[in-house]
Amino acid sequence: MAMIWRGLALAAGVWITAATVADAAEVRREPAGALADGTPIEAITLSNETGVSARILTYGATLQSLSGPDRDGRIADVVLGYDTASDYVDHPNYFGVTVGRYANRIAGGRFSLDGRTYQLPLNDTTNSLHGGGQAFDKVVWRVVSVEDGPQARVVLSHVSPNGDAGYPGELDATVTYSLDDSGGLTIAFDATTSAPTIVNMTNHAIFNLAGEGTPGGIERHRLTIPAAAYTPVDAALIPTGELRSVAGTVFDFRAPRVIGDGLRDARDEQIRLGRGYDHNFALDKGMTDEPALAARLEDPDSGRVLEVLTTDPGLQVYSGNFLDGTLVGKGGHLYRMGDGIALEPQKFPNAPNEPAFVQARVDPDRPYRHVMVYRLSTAD
């Protein structure tokens, strides 16, 4: 019988390991640099015995890397990003970050609660995007705990003060990353507020399952989304309020569809407005208590498969349309449109201004929770 043992150490640079006959999980916590004011940044790496690993930075509660084997066992990092924490600070572009308080766009940066209107920063022309210019992606989160076991886990926290970026209420937010022994990375977002507010948190990883920086990007990837409708947008990329059928359009991913088939199809006005895919899909499942399938992404060359599960009702699909070759990413790669795709579970964009959408209101007696999963595997 294999030896059963367990060790625990939280000092920087020390492995935390659990091993049993059935599973093995490892956690590494180490320094990753510092902000200009001296605030330290840490990196926490979660690994399992199948070869899947995730590296999380405390800056932005960022998923810096997610690596896994292809069908032949070769390991590759499948998310776009930077090699160093300082690059995330100096060249922000939402790679793998936790976005909040409100992911996606709010028209005019304005919303109302209980008869009062709140103004947010405008950092996307006429819109507020991903919480505004100084949001959850640009702060160092505190490490609450690091745990080993069948699920290697790190819990991060951040307190956003009342009035931060114009949002009401002091918000106490946590992000928990957990890696299981089957290749599933669960990300749980929790928050409590001191006053009524809006919250919509997600992760903004941009994927290339062939391996970050692989030529050709994601155009040959096949994508499946169980959604019969999506939310078309106006010229400012704000949903019009309509739920439009995907039938007969390049937005129909109910069966596996090659992303490149519709990515540059300018016959569709929505593709022209988004410069590709930058749209929210209304998932057939709606809101659920447990994470359910939102998307399946497949790379036929490597055999890697990514399943995205969520408790939320929407999925933003973004094909990297604003990557223009000016950002130097991991390994010196220049990132361009189509080099990766983001699959962001969420409430709908601009929901606070669209009463028919599932609302994002959070009250002191009703905490916020969103659970999503990135599950890596392989297929023949």
Tell me which residues are annotated as active site.
204, 344
DSSP letter at 250 equals T
| Spatial distance between the Cα atoms of 316 and 87, rounded to a whole number of angstroms | 25
The CB-side HSE value for 228 (13 A sphere, CA atoms) comes to 3
Share in percent of the chain as helix, strand, coil (round to 5)? 5, 45, 50
Instruction: Using CB atoms within 10 Å of the CB of residue 195, give its burial: 0 to 12 exposed, 13 to 18 middle, 19+ buried.
Output: middle
For residue 154, the surrounding DSSP H or E stretch is: strand 152-160
Q: Give the torsion sign (CA, 262, 209, 48, 98).
A: negative
Q: Which residues contact 173 (CB under 8 A, 6 or more apart)?
A: 100, 101, 136, 157, 158, 159, 160, 189, 190, 191, 199, 201
Record the tokens describing residue 208, joined without a space: 């290339």
Residue 342 pairs in a beta bridge with: 206, 318
Q: Phi/psi at 253 (nearest 5 deg)?
A: -115, 25
Q: How far apart are CA 357 and CA 226, in angstroms?
A: 18
252-253-258 Cα angle (round to 5): 110
Q: Where are the beta strands (DSSP E) in 108-170?
A: 110-113, 116-119, 127-129, 142-147, 152-160
Outline where the chain has alpha helix (H). 85-90, 260-263, 269-274
Contact 313, 347 (CB under 8 A): yes
- Give yes or no for a contact between 281 and 342, defined as CB atoms under 8 angstroms apart: no
Q: How far, in Å, CA of 44 to CA of 22, rounded?
A: 23
